[in-house]
Chain A
């Protein structure tokens, strides 16, 4: 009941442009930060903050998604708990970010899938596995070829609509986000230099470098590169796996070269390297998250984070296993696990942690635009 009330209240607040409780907390903390500004060198969020005197809903959404949760400002903060000002920007921002993923989700009712995201992912995974194990059971026994178990066109007919829906849902969500934060970030249009800078910052994960290049915080006030590296392994591993699938699709239709592919074919190379990277990256992220300082981030989002990491790990590990098991009797089961987990990921893509990359990229793009516009504030001697 309480959750329902909270949801209703939040919906009302959203409709009226009033701040929700997490947004009010961000506004309160940023009022303190804006009077201090010691953390300006760490990331993009603080310089963006200094262009404002007040923090409206759109400003808060923009800034929350600009924050990379690196933790540097928490450990450097003279007002962090136990100080009575209780400033914990990474945590306040993470809470609002979680809210924006749900608020901007399309279609809107499905945003509720973020409320218990661990459960959402578990059900999706269970359904995906059940579907493919059931399908595999119906296939001819002793098949050694993937497509003997699941015909190619049948797989395409299953995955293509789910994937296209996910892309559409994410696009519509981020479009609404973009429209909301645009006017709050000068409203100026995106220019090629701004787009290039933001792309660079996304692909290099610039704001996990601590501003000084020594990296971000994890378990304490020491800086390190492991989070950034694990993130890169995960991201680029995922992209390579995706590229492997895309190239394979091209091979299949354009060159009439159906799977399986062997080393050193391009799909195999991309897939193996990507799979290993994704495995390592997700294991790294999992370990780092376990060790993470308890004040970092929003504890309520841990199931979402672990669920996403776990799903990606399962996909990469089962994909690699598939290679090892080729010709084995267990291969169909491994294939069913792999395809079931991929299906679970795609089906929940607009309602899982994947959204963080999309919304953060949007904020970084708007930040790159805004910083190129003249600042309307003229502080003292500057």
Chain B
């Protein structure tokens, strides 16, 4: 079969590209690897979009100017970003929401427990799956041909120009030619072999990635990414071990645990590793600003597991976890129940409790409750863990998405030997590493996917329609 624009992928970036291309008058086919009920990739697990705005805007309060957004991004990435593409993303985030609304996306004020991002993030009513549903409905109305369970194993590229994709569906294999193509098929986070290989073996002889959980879709196998980087020598960006990675409940399912598996009580207590030792300042900053570093921190611990310990004073002060915690009336009993070395655990807790210099506890500010004389210190919200019953939550690294991707520019073109392809474009997780070299800040993945999805769709339509004119 043949189409003007072929979009490979079925999440936010792919849908943005398909909608823009269809609006520009191109015929569009979208290939989603997942069956319909699992469509949307990781976008179905998202909840908001980080948005620049200079004044209050419907659901967004105050202002979040370009410079502040850029500084936030600079901070979390430690400078491993492309300023030009980052600023392009930031500016696009200030103007895309009317277009999103036209395609059926509804925004709402921040969810309870998320007021800290009322200024920076616009929440999708019903979350990312509602957004994905709205985009699919809109795409169907615009005549986009949508095929589910359509996996692309390889594409044909001639002289940097996309020619056709080879698609496997339950019905068989097919070659789909198109005048242009958008790659938006996600990272490789669901490919456990690749993760294992990327993370390698540590000094303890462990393969850390074997203990990772995947917060999102099981369909992001990175097949196309590997194919483009390996077989076509497309220009690459990013480190394969860098990813959006948080500490999540160790009992979460292997895939698709999503938001509800997060453990939000870290800053209210202490976190110990398998040996019963603390390893990082739990109160360094507000949790929403720190949650994204704890995945890597836990990945570096023996057995890639850690335990968030709180006492009764913390109950009701954090988002309720999806699974009940391990409960005990005394700390030694808690250690026993967790299978931790009791003596070492008690030493850690006693040292910590003795080191707490309690001031005025206030979880809404960087308060003055801190420790003195323990390493690592806890710099805020440090209160002795002394009021039973005590609760513990085991956590493991949860990978949201990987940052290794295809290098691109402000046209979203895939590049070969530093030359942009005239008709092959990339969006979403497959190129997020251009902006996110490491770290994460809430909602920026959707900002990148929306900005580059729309650019890729526009440019793919233009490339297709130009090809048409050239033939005519």
> How far is the CB of A115 from the nearest CB of chain B, in Å?
33
Secondary structure type dominating chain A contacts: loop
Determine if B338 is an interface residue (Cβ-Cβ < 8 Å). no
Determine if B253 is an interface residue (Cβ-Cβ < 8 Å). yes
Mark the stretch among A27-35, A265-273, A277-285 that contacts chain B.
Answer: A27-35
Residues in B whose Cβ lies below 8 Å from that of A382: 112-113, 115-116, 364
Enumerate A347-377 residues with CB–CB distance to B below 8 Å: 376-377
A72 B126 Cβ-Cβ under 8 A:
yes
Enumerate B87-115 residues with CB–CB distance to A below 8 Å: 106, 108-109, 111-113, 115
Which chain B residue shows the least CB distance to A82?
B37
CB within 8 Å for A379 and B317 given contacts A38-B47, A50-B112: yes
CB within 8 Å for A53 and B130 given contacts A36-B259, A42-B125, A79-B260: no
Interface bits A78-93 vs B (CB < 8 Å: 1, else 0) = 1101111100000000
> How far is the CB of B90 from the nearest CB of chain A, in Å?
23
Query: In the bound complex, how far is the Cα of B137 from the Cα of A220, in angstroms?
Result: 10
Select the residue from A37, A47, A84 with max chain B CB neighbours within 10 A. Answer: A37
B363 A222 Cβ-Cβ under 8 A:
no
B319's partner among A72, A376, A379 (CB-CB below 8 A) is: A379
Query: In the bound complex, how far is the Cα of B147 from the Cα of A298, in angstroms?
Result: 32
Determine if A221 is an interface residue (Cβ-Cβ < 8 Å). yes
Enumerate B114-153 residues with CB–CB distance to A below 8 Å: 115-116, 123-130, 133, 137
> How far is the CB of B247 from the nearest CB of chain A, in Å?
15
Query: In the bound complex, how far is the Cα of B260 from the Cα of A84, in angstroms?
Result: 13
B264 A78 Cβ-Cβ under 8 A:
no
CB within 8 Å for A40 and B112 given contacts A31-B320, A212-B106, A377-B316: yes
Residues in B whose Cβ lies below 8 Å from that of A38: 47, 111, 124, 126-130, 259
Determine if A232 is an interface residue (Cβ-Cβ < 8 Å). no
> How far is the CB of B463 from the nearest CB of chain A, in Å?
32
CB within 8 Å for A78 and B113 given contacts A35-B259, A39-B126: no
A380's partner among B124, B261, B287 (CB-CB below 8 A) is: B287
> How far is the CB of B299 from the nearest CB of chain A, in Å?
23
A380 B45 Cβ-Cβ under 8 A:
no
B130 A380 Cβ-Cβ under 8 A:
no
Question: What is the interface size of chain A, counting residues whose CB is below 8 A from a CB of the partner?
Answer: 38
Residues in A whose Cβ lies below 8 Å from that of B261: 35
Residues in A whose Cβ lies below 8 Å from that of B363: 378, 380-381
Which chain A residue shows the least CB distance to B259?
A36
A35 B322 Cβ-Cβ under 8 A:
yes
Which chain B residue shows the least CB distance to A38?
B127
Determine if B65 is an interface residue (Cβ-Cβ < 8 Å). no
B127's partner among A39, A379, A380 (CB-CB below 8 A) is: A39
CB within 8 Å for A32 and B322 given contacts A78-B258, A222-B137, A381-B288: yes
B112's partner among A73, A221, A379 (CB-CB below 8 A) is: A379
Determine if A56 is an interface residue (Cβ-Cβ < 8 Å). no
Determine if B44 is an interface residue (Cβ-Cβ < 8 Å). yes
Which chain A residue shows the least CB distance to B288?
A381
Which chain B residue shows the least CB distance to A84?
B253
Determine if A211 is an interface residue (Cβ-Cβ < 8 Å). yes
Determine if A77 is an interface residue (Cβ-Cβ < 8 Å). yes
Query: In the bound complex, how far is the Cα of B101 from the Cα of A214, in angstroms?
Result: 12
Band of interface residues on B: 35 or more
Residues in A whose Cβ lies below 8 Å from that of B286: 381
Residues in A whose Cβ lies below 8 Å from that of B126: 38-39, 41-42, 72-73, 75-76
Determine if B160 is an interface residue (Cβ-Cβ < 8 Å). no
Residues in A whose Cβ lies below 8 Å from that of B111: 37-38, 40
A221 B319 Cβ-Cβ under 8 A:
no
Determine if B55 is an interface residue (Cβ-Cβ < 8 Å). no
> How far is the CB of B414 from the nearest CB of chain A, in Å?
30
> How far is the CB of B46 from the nearest CB of chain A, in Å?
9
> How far is the CB of B122 from the nearest CB of chain A, in Å?
12
CB within 8 Å for A379 and B321 given contacts A35-B259, A78-B256: no
A381 B116 Cβ-Cβ under 8 A:
yes
Determine if B467 is an interface residue (Cβ-Cβ < 8 Å). no
Which chain A residue shows the least CB distance to B364?
A381
Query: In the bound complex, how far is the Cα of B217 from the Cα of A82, in angstroms?
Result: 13
B128 A78 Cβ-Cβ under 8 A:
yes
Which chain A residue shows the least CB distance to B124?
A38
CB within 8 Å for A36 and B258 given contacts A78-B128, A84-B253, A222-B137: yes
CB within 8 Å for A75 and B133 given contacts A37-B113, A53-B320: yes
Query: In the bound complex, how far is the Cα of B319 from the Cα of A38, in angstroms?
Result: 13
> How far is the CB of A82 from the nearest CB of chain B, in Å?
6
B113's partner among A77, A85, A380 (CB-CB below 8 A) is: A380
A76's partner among B133, B287, B322 (CB-CB below 8 A) is: B133
Query: In the bound complex, how far is the Cα of B407 from the Cα of A73, in angstroms?
Result: 38
> How far is the CB of A152 from the nearest CB of chain B, in Å?
55
> How far is the CB of B248 from the nearest CB of chain A, in Å?
11
> How far is the CB of A60 from the nearest CB of chain B, in Å?
16
Which chain A residue shows the least CB distance to B365?
A381
Select the residue from B129, B260, B322 with max chain A CB neighbours within 10 A. Answer: B260
Which chain B residue shows the least CB distance to A39?
B126
Query: In the bound complex, how far is the Cα of B124 from the Cα of A211, in angstroms?
Result: 12
Query: In the bound complex, how far is the Cα of B129 from the Cα of A83, in angstroms?
Result: 13
Determine if B419 is an interface residue (Cβ-Cβ < 8 Å). no
Query: In the bound complex, how far is the Cα of B232 from the Cα of A365, in angstroms?
Result: 64
Query: In the bound complex, how far is the Cα of B176 from the Cα of A119, in angstroms?
Result: 57
Query: In the bound complex, how far is the Cα of B133 from the Cα of A221, in angstroms?
Result: 7
A35 B321 Cβ-Cβ under 8 A:
yes
Which chain B residue shows the least CB distance to A223?
B104
Determine if B374 is an interface residue (Cβ-Cβ < 8 Å). no
Determine if B198 is an interface residue (Cβ-Cβ < 8 Å). no
Select the residue from A222, A376, A382 with max chain B CB neighbours within 10 A. Answer: A382
Query: In the bound complex, how far is the Cα of B126 from the Cα of A269, in angstroms?
Result: 44
CB within 8 Å for A381 and B115 given contacts A42-B126, A53-B315, A212-B106: yes
Interface bits A96-126 vs B (CB < 8 Å: 1, else 0) = 0000000000000000000000000000000
Residues in B whose Cβ lies below 8 Å from that of A212: 106, 125
> How far is the CB of A46 from the nearest CB of chain B, in Å?
9
Residues in B whose Cβ lies below 8 Å from that of A40: 108, 111-112
A36's partner among B106, B125, B260 (CB-CB below 8 A) is: B260
Between A and B, 21 residue pairs with Cβ closer than 8 Å are A35-B319, A35-B320, A35-B321, A37-B113, A39-B127, A41-B106, A41-B126, A42-B126, A50-B112, A50-B113, A75-B133, A81-B37, A211-B106, A212-B125, A379-B113, A379-B317, A379-B318, A380-B317, A381-B116, A381-B287, A381-B363
The 5 closest A-B pairs by CB, nearest first: A38-B127, A76-B126, A35-B260, A381-B116, A41-B108
Binding site for A on B (CB under 8 A): 37-38, 44-45, 47, 106, 108-109, 111-113, 115-116, 123-130, 133, 137, 253, 256, 258-262, 264, 286-288, 315-322, 363-364
Q: Please give 7 more A-B residue pairs, beta carbons under 8 A apart, in addition to A32-B260, A41-B106, A47-B112.
A: A36-B127, A36-B260, A75-B133, A78-B259, A83-B256, A377-B316, A382-B364
